[in-house]
Amino acid sequence: NAGVTQTPKFQVLKTGQSMTLQCAQDMNHEYMSWYRQDPGMGLRLIHYSVGAGITDQGEVPNGYNVSRSTTEDFPLRLLSAAPSQTSVYFCASRRELMNTEAFFGQGTRLTVV
């Protein structure tokens, strides 16, 4: 099982550039989400989706856009990259049942210069 796959693993962007972080899962999980991890901050929720066509904002959504056209994919778009978006980004998925845990991708380290 591939589980949750994120691409790329590393990325350097210039301020103002846009890009899309890819996330795909092959476990047929209904729920998918994006988190960012900053030093000393733990992980914080950016956006999440409870199924295809349904997305909602998390704790830190500004500067990011998402869509969920299929169950498998949940891309995260940076509209105009800023140095404050330098972080490690994690995609996670889980089954809809209440007592299930989230499975995480391996993360994308993004640097905005």
Partner 1 sequence: AQTVTQSQPEMSVQEAETVTLSCTYDTSESDYYLFWYKQPPSRQMILVIRQEAYKQQNATENRFSVNFQKAAKSFSLKISDSQLGDAAMYFCAYRGSYRGGSEKLVFGKGTKLTVNP
Binding site for partner 1 (CB under 8 A): 31, 33, 35, 40-45, 48, 50, 56, 58-59, 88, 90, 92, 98-99, 101-104, 106-107, 109
Query: Which of 32, 3, 98, 19 lies closest to 64, judged by CA?
Result: 19
Q: Which residue lies nearer to partner 1 by CB, 82 or 102?
A: 102
Nearest CB to partner 1, comparing residues 13 and 94 = 94
- The SS3 assignment for 63 reads coil
**Nearest-approach distance from CB 12 to partner 1, in angstroms:** 17
CB of 94 to partner 1, least distance (A): 9
CB of 93 to partner 1, least distance (A): 11
Burial 57-67 (b: 16+ CB within 10 A, else e): ebebbeebebe
Angle, vertex CA 94, rays to CA 70 and CA 56, nearest 5: 60
Q: How far apart are CA 24 and CA 14, in angstroms?
A: 25
State which residue, 19 or 88, has the beta carbon closest to partner 1. 88
